[in-house]
Amino acid sequence: MRVLAEVDGEKILYLESPKRRPTVATDYLSTGVHGDEAGSAWGLLIWAENHIQTLREGSFLIFPCFNPQGLRHNTRLDNRGLDINRRFDRLDDPITGPWQKLILERKLRIAVCLHEDFDSQGCYLYELSAAKLSISQKLMAACTQRIKADPRRVIEGSRANGGIIRRSKLPPNFPGLPEAIVLWQLGCPITLTFETPSEFNLDHRVAAQASFVSAALRHAPHP
């Protein structure tokens, strides 16, 4: 475990497999960007506690909490009053600048960014990948036992089908780039953003998040 950055006394930590080899593509997991999305941070923790052997044997880069103060205070914004997920393209930011440097030095197999949404009506997923690599249908099937897929046809302004929003190109004019899009720009072949409905039962949200991580790692193609 290392310190990515320290901002106003708040340490942002990351974890990396000790056996990382430059030739092996790394699996990227992250959450806690928005502090009012507790089910996603807890879900990653539960997944990790249940997969100690996987963590020992695999190649992982994990950011368990980009926004510690937000998580403690149940706020979307961080201790600077900023939405980190509109700043991942910024090299001048003390968190996302060093983060970009770290990503550029590594080859990623898949990136999983865990979030929650207060007005969603079920689980949903953004997938950025080439169409032939798409795994989103398998993933939704694996994590919607207790919370069904969000049935809306339009989610956050994007066309959705069975809770899946797929892109193989970047949306134009994004107001500051989110983590998943920058990871894609930096060469990660599949980036997934998973959302559970933060007004639903916490145990069910945590279970859905943990199931999603397992399924994503199981179904991600090996290069």
Cα 106 → chain centroid: 17
Taking the C-alpha atoms of residue 10 and residue 154, their distance in angstroms, rounded to an integer, is 37
Identify whether the C-beta of residue 135 lies closer than 8 Å to the C-beta of residue 190.
yes
Interface of this chain with Zn ion, residues 112 to 141, rule: CB under 5 A: 115
Query: Helical H runs in the chain?
Result: 38-49, 52-57, 68-73, 96-104, 136-143, 179-185, 202-219
Pick the piece of the chain touching Zn ion (CB under 5 A) from 36-44, 60-68, 127-135, 201-209: 36-44
C-beta of 57 vs 199, nearer to Zn ion: 199
Taking the complex as a whole, the smallest distance from the CB of residue 24 to Zn ion amounts, in Å, to 29
- Identified binder of Zn ion from the candidate list 34, 87, 106, 205, rule CB under 5 A: 34
Per DSSP bridges, beta strands 108-117 and 26-30 are parallel
Cα distances from 99 to residues 3, 96, 127, in angstroms, run: 11, 5, 21
Distance in Å, CB of 180 to Zn ion, minimum: 11
> What radius of gyration do the chain's Cα atoms show?
16
Asked if 205 is part of the footprint of Zn ion (rule: CB under 5 A), the reply reads no
In the complex with Zn ion, the residue whose CB is nearer, 34 or 109, is 34
Nearer to Zn ion, 59 or 198 (CB): 198
Give me the least distance between CB of 115 and Zn ion, in Å please.
3
**Size of site (CB under 5 A) for Zn ion:** 3
Write down the least CB distance from residue 128 to Zn ion, Å. 16
Structure-token pair, residue 185: 């720009």
Instruction: Name the residues that contact Zn ion, by CB under 5 A.
Output: 34, 37, 115
